[in-house]
Structure formats: C-alpha cells, structure tokens
Amino acid sequence: MQEVNTIHENKLDKLRESLSKTSIAFNKNLLVELGDFLENSDLPTTKQESWKYTRLTKLSNTTFSGFNEKSTLLAVHEKAYKIVFENGKLRSKEAFEGLNTLTELSSTQLSEIHASHEVFDALNLCYAEDGVFIEISKTLDRPIEILHLSNGNKINNLRHFIRLKSNTEANITMIFCSEKESKNFSNCVTEFHVEQGAHLSVTKIQIESGQDIHLSKEKVIQHRDSNFTLNTVTLDGLFVRNEVEVAVEGVYAETNLNGVYVANQQQFVDNHTTIDHKVAHCLSNELYKGVLFDKATGVFNGKVFVRKDAQKINAFQSNANIIMSQDASVNAKPELEIYADDVKCSHGSTTGQLDEEAVFYLRSRGLSDKAARNLLVSAFVGQVLEKIENTEILDFVYGKLNERFGWEY
Amino acid sequence: MIKIKNLHANIEGKEILKGLDLEVNAGEVHAIMGPNGAGKSTLASILAGREEYEITAGSITFDGIDLLELSTEERAREGLFLAFQYPVEIPGVSNINFLRTALNEIREYKGQEPISAKDFMQMVRDKSALVELDSKLANRSVNEGFSGGEKKRNEIFQMAMLDPKLAILDETDSGLDIDALRIVANGVNKLKTPHNASIVITHYQRLLDYIVPDFVHVLYDGKIVKTGPKELALTLEEKGYDWIKESILS
C-alpha cells in the first residue's frame, strides 16, 4: 500500500513568524501557559460553531511585514483626553488621573490581566505591544478617545484594561483607522470592569482601509447597579469580526449593545455577542442593524444566557439587515439559553430588501430613486446611530457615511 | 391639462383598462366613480407611474408632455401628485425632512433656489393648519403610528406643501369618519385655484357632498361609460351601479 503523507501547514505558526514576544510584564506562568496553548493550536475553521460563517482565509493568505512611518492623524473629539496608538505603539497621550500604559506597569499591577484559551485572545496577550490601563476612581471632566492608527502591512496586538470604580461615569470612544493603501491585521482585546453603580458608555468606530483585517474582543464584567453601553459602528475594512462578551455579575445592572454595519464590495463584517445573565433583576437590550451592498457579507450571532437563579431578567435582542444587491448576504443566528422561569426575553432577526412601496411613495413626491433609497437606508441605521449620545461622535459618523455612501443626515 | 386617449393597460397579462378617454382642464374638478374592479385605482397608479402596469395602447399628455415617458419622480416634479389610498409608513424618516427634500428636488428641477429654513417652517405651519394636522405629526416619522384619518390628512398636507398642478385623490374618503372627511375635503377645496385641477377617485358619493365636482365620470370595465354633471353622482348613489350596467347593455 502506498503511504500518503499529508503535511498540514499550521496557519497560526505562519502568522506568529512576523511577531515578537511581548515585553509587557504579564504573569510569567500565564505567558508560558498561553505560549504552550498557541504551540498546539491553529487558526479556527468553519467546523467550529462560533466560526461557522467566518472564514479566515483572508487572514491566512496575507503575509505581514512592517509599517510605514507616515500617518495622518484623525481628530474626532475637540474636547477629549486623547490617547493615540500608531502601528501598535503609543504615539501620544494626554495625561489624566488613572491612566497608564501596559508597558509602564509592573507584573503586580498587571496581575489581573488574563487571557482565555482562545487563539486570538492568547495571541494578543503573548504578543501584546502595548495598551491602556485605565482606572477611573473619580468621574473625569472630559470624554476619553483612544485612537488606533495603522499604516503599512503589520499585525497590531493591543490590549486594553479599563476599570470604572464604584459610582463613576465615563464616556470612551475607540477609533480604528488606517491609511488607504494599508493592509494590516489589528487584533485588539479590551477588558472593561464596571463596578457597582458605575456608568460606562463606549463607542467603537471602525473605519480601517478596505484591505485591512480587524478582529476585536471586548470582555465586560458588570457589577451591581452598573450600566454599560457599547455602540459598535463598522463602516469599512476588508474583514471585521467583533466579539463582545458581557458577564453580568451584579443585580440591577443594565446592558446595552448597539451595532451598525454598512459594507460594500467584498467586505465581511461579523458581530458575535454574548450576554451572560448570571444574577437576577437585570436588563439587556441589543439592537444591531446592517446594510450590505455589492458582494458584502454580514454575520450576526447573538447569544443570551439566563442562568438558573437569574429571575426577573428582561433581555431583548433584535437584528435587522437590508440587502442592497442580489450578491450580498447575511447569516444571522440568535441563540437564547434560558434556565430561569420568571424572565422576559425576546429576539428577532430580519433580513430583506428595501420596501419598494416606500421607495415608490418617496419617488411620487419628487425624490429620485437614489435619493429615496439613500433616505430609507440612512433612516434604517439612523435609528441605531441616534443612541450615540455624544453629538461630536455622531456627527463624525454621519460625515463618514456621507463621504462613503452619500447619505445625508 | 391632461389628456388621456384610448388608454389600454395590463397587469400580469390581464387587461384592466380597455380604451379609457379623459380630459381635464385647469380649474376643474373631476370625479371618477365606479364599482370595485372597474379600474379606478389602476388609473391612479398608471398616472403616478407604477411600473407593474404595461401600457398596450393609447397616450397620456400632461401639459403637452408625453407623461408615459417620464419616471415617477419626473411626473411629481412636473406637478403631478397622487394622494395614496394606503399611505406608506416609513419608520425613521421624518415627515418634515422628507418634505423639504422633496420640495427642494422639485424647486431644483424648476431652476429655483432651495427654500430657506425659515420660509419652509412658516409654510409647514400654514399648510398643516389648513388640514388641521397637529404640528407634532408633521415632525414624526412619515405616517408611522398615524390613525387612518391622520394618514389621509398627511396626504393632503403634503399636497398643500408641494402645490401640484394636478392632484389625483385615490379613494381618499376610504376609512374616514365624517369629521375627517370634512377636514380633508375642506383642505382640497381651499387648495383649488384656476390654475390647478383634481381628479377625485371614489366609490361612494359622500365625498362629493364636500368636494363639488365639475364633472362626474363613471368608470366601468376599463372604460369611461358615462359622463355628467355633479347630479350624476346622486343618481348613482340612488340607483347603484347596476343601473349603469343595464343602460350599457340595452
């Protein structure tokens, strides 16, 4: 019998080749453990449930080398405390009480940071270049803006840790952008700890180049009476996957996850959310809306767990998509797992075309076909965008939508 | 103003209009009545430019222009307005913003400057008063959560804002109680000038108690089979459409 030798190229190994091990003082045992895990791992495939609709070929087919030294700075907030990372390195920061970067901290200070046995989380930690470590113990007078700039052809592993102490408030904007010709891979992980009675509102805006790959994970822990809002706005990028995991550990907490994605050409946008209601008397709202043109693909996967003793939970999830061409598609999968009996949960997912009767109605009043369609899709996502309370950020998003898709608000 | 000659139209292979003739001049109000399935709403849809219908013969000229060559939006910009039988709800699109966009598209088409914000708001106030439309409704999403009467009033409000040459009211009376009917009819009457015209499509005579037509046409089986003065509507109300059928057959 002829012997067949198949050599499987490990795609994760190939990805790691261009990376340097982190110089951040993470726990040594953790680094060894995660390093071993990565040694024995490969990139996820569509055989894994949580990657079923998400092929990583765009990532595994790209070779990453370096970066160019020129970046155009993007100012969104006039008033915010700005922290700027460029190609994974800190470029500038406006100091405020409680702000440090990971490279500045000792292993004792970093002892709380952990990564799970999940390829991109582990990869991010083992090769982390930098990131913010923010502890808010007194509400700041201004919002915070963390800007992530990339240009060139590089893998950026930034890791952030943000904690709001009891009864504080913060408003944070995280912007990811890159130069037009860039081909980066951004793998960003952020941990948010929202302590008792704290209010945290985060808006994440992704406007990287049409050739960039972006994976990000937000791990959120909410304590009693806390309020956490995340608005994820994806307007560009070749391949984007957002994973949000919220563990609601304290009673009377409120969680709001809002998302807008508008994609065209061959773009791929994936939003994976998990809200884990571990305790009683909490509320979560999830609203994600997408518009897909050309050959763009969207994925929405929303998991909600309600544990056995988590009674009196209200959990609402809604995902709606408009497909603007025959070649565009969406895979939507809501997953509710409810083990408590006194809860109110709902989910709904719709994917369809524009309401032609509404298009006709608007045209019959004098709007062109294009203007009518633009008005309808912009209104469709506008209902999510208006949840962004910061008007400067909202205007910035409207401006981007106008620039990219000609929508007017 | 509008001349419809020998109009034949199909939908999904079925002939609905079978040689319809109609001429409307400036300053006139025409009522088109007829039994269900006669082709009344088809006529309204074709005039507004719905693409599902196939015109197999005939012509429509609107102020000398071949209407059938124009897209829906070009017809609107030329001054044609359809008040919908079933106005569409459009969540997220504010009534006001959409009307300003519509008005400015029409003005641009006519070579006029966009309307100023101040003039526009004054116009909104004046015209919403005309149809007794709560100004709060004017600011809400288009028709979203409006009652049947509010939707119809909103149609007439839009008509007042866009000031068309020819308005087609497609069963505007359907689903209205008597008070709403009076308000809607009042609005239409106040908008009447020697320069514009209306085609009022209705199944029942009662709308014509409030909007007095110059001519009443009976549409039956895809054709205008009878035309008369406003009294014809009363005869129809009294004798029903069977009377028309019999008089055609005999």
Q: A273, A360, A356: which is closest to A315 by C-alpha? A: A273
How many Cβ atoms from other residues are within 10 Å of residue A150's Cβ?
Answer: 28
> Distance (Å) from the C-alpha of residue B100 to the closest C-alpha of chain A?
10
What are the tokens at B109?
């088409």
Nearest CA-CA distance, residue A365 and chain B, Å:
6
Cα separation, A167 vs A138, whole angstroms:
8
Residues of B in contact with A361 (CB under 8 A): 84, 87-88, 90, 142
Give the closest-approach CA distance of B151 to chain A in angstroms: 13
Identify whether the C-beta of residue B167 lies closer than 8 Å to the C-beta of residue B196: yes
Specify whether the CB–CB gap between A196 and A225 falls below 8 A: yes
Q: In total, how many domains does chain B have? A: 1
Closest CA to B219 of B25, B44, B90, B1: B44
Provide the 8-state DSSP code for B131: T
Specify the residue for token string 């003082």. A25
Q: What is the CA radius of gyration of chain B?
A: 18
Q: Are A356 and B52 in contact (CB under 8 A)?
A: no
Assess contact for A36 and A128: CB atoms under 8 A.
Answer: no
Q: Which residues of A touch B75 (CB under 8 A)?
A: 364
What pLDDT, on the 0 to 100 scale, is given for residue B205?
84
Start-to-end CA span in chain A (Å):
70
CA distances from residue B202 to B47, B80, B83, B205 in whole angstroms, order as listed: 16, 19, 12, 7
Residue B49's nearest CA partner among B22, B20, B78, B26 is: B78
CB contacts of A364 in chain B (<8 Å) are 48-49, 72-73, 75-76, 81-82, 84
Locate A150 and state its tokens.
């990339």
Q: Do A360 and B76 touch (CB under 8 A)?
A: no
The reported pLDDT for the residue numbered A366 is 96
Report how many helices (DSSP H) and strands (DSSP E) chain B contains, helices first: 9, 12
Residue B94 — φ and ψ, nearest 5°?
-75, 135
Number of A/B CB contacts below 8 angstroms equals 72
- One-letter amino acid at A3 equals E
The beta-strand segments (E) located in A57-194 are 81-86, 89-93, 99-101, 132-136, 144-150, 155-164, 169-178, 185-194
Q: Which residue of A has its CA nearest to B161?
A: A365
What's residue B247's pLDDT? 77
Averages of pLDDT over each 10 residues, chain A, 409 residues: 61 90 96 96 93 91 75 72 93 95 95 95 97 98 94 93 98 92 93 98 95 96 98 97 98 98 97 98 98 97 96 97 96 95 94 96 96 93 92 90 86
Tokens coding A211: 């050739």
* Block residue for tokens 């035309």: B227
Residue B230 DSSP SS3? coil
Closest in B72, B84, B91 to A363, CB measured: B72
| Cα–Cα distance for residue pair A165/A109, rounded to 1 Å | 16
CB-nearest partner of B162 from A361, A365, A380? A365
- The alpha-carbon gap from B219 to the nearest alpha carbon of chain A, in Å, equals 24
Q: Which of residues 26-85 of B touch A (CB under 8 A)?
A: 48-50, 71-73, 75-77, 81-82, 84
- Mapped onto helix, strand or coil, the DSSP state of residue B246 is helix
Best B89, B90, B95 residue to mutate vs chain A (most A CBs within 10 Å): B90
| DSSP code at position A130 | B
- B102: domain range? 2-249
Nearest chain A Cα distance for residue B111, angstroms = 14
For chain A, what are the domain ranges?
Answer: 11-375
Q: Do B101 and A355 touch (CB under 8 A)?
A: no
Strand partners of residue B169: B83, B200
pLDDT value of residue A362: 97
Sort B207 into a burial class: Cβ within 10 Å, 0-12 / 13-18 / 19+: buried
pLDDT for A151 equals 86
The whole-angstrom separation of Cα A77 and Cα A85 is 16
Q: What is the pLDDT of residue B81?
A: 97
B205 alpha-carbon distance from chain centroid: 16
Residues with pLDDT less than 70, chain B:
250
Give the residue carrying structure tokens 């030294």: A69
Q: Which of B30, B81, B28, B86 is nearest to B224 (CA)?
A: B30
A105 touches A134 (CB < 8 A): no
Among the partner-chain residues A360, A368, A375, the one whose CB lies closest to the CB of B98 is A375
Q: Which stretches within chain B are classed as H helix?
A: 40-48, 72-78, 95-109, 117-130, 135-139, 148-162, 178-191, 231-239, 242-249
Distance between A291 CA and the closest CA of chain B, angstroms: 15
Which residues does A242 contact at the CB level (< 8 Å), separation at least 6?
Answer: A204, A216, A217, A218, A232, A234, A259, A270, A271, A272
- Tell me if B102 and A366 make a contact (CB, 8 A cut-off): yes
Amino acid at B30: H
Q: What ipTM was assigned to the predicted interfaces of this complex?
A: 0.96
Nearest to A296 by CA among A235, A230, A372, A216: A235
Give residue B8's pLDDT: 97
Determine contact: B102 vs chain A, CB below 8 A.
yes
